[in-house]
Amino acid sequence: MPEGRIAAVLIHVADQEAGLDWYSQAFPQAQRRVVEGFTLLDVGGISLEIVPADAKVSSGAAGTVVYWHTDNFAAELNRLQALGAVLYRGPMAIEEGQQMAQVKDPWGNLLGLRG
């Protein structure tokens, strides 16, 4: 793996199985993989790891937001909302005619979208 490349994104949820199911729908291109007994979603070589929220890291909107690229911004935003994501911020125009927005997953975590 190249130095500095994103290796994994951890998403903290109250219900790990429900989280895996929801994120499998949010990222239909993801491949479920089991690594040493742990199930993760592989999204283009990035491990999307749905993990239990706990006293140290809760679920919810705070701090860093990972933005995912899409070629069809409006369709992808609508699709995520149809899955139950709630628009949190945006959409707003950014550079080169693109747009960006943030949505909340069912656990309150933020998911960024650009395209």
Q: Average pLDDT by consecutive 10-residue portion of the chain (115 residues)?
A: 81 95 96 93 94 90 90 96 97 95 96 95
Count other Cβ atoms within 10 Å, centred on residue 65.
15
The pTM is what?
0.87
CATH 3.40.640.10 fits domain 60-115: no
Q: How far apart are the first and last CA of the chain?
A: 26
- CA–CA dist 9, 44 (Å, integer): 12
Q: Do domains 1-53 and 60-115 have the same CATH topology?
A: yes
What pLDDT, on the 0 to 100 scale, is given for residue 63?
80
What pLDDT, on the 0 to 100 scale, is given for residue 34?
94
Peptide bond into 91 cis (omega under 30): yes
- What CATH number is given for 1-53 in this structure? 3.10.180.10
| Per-domain boundaries in the chain | 1-53, 60-115
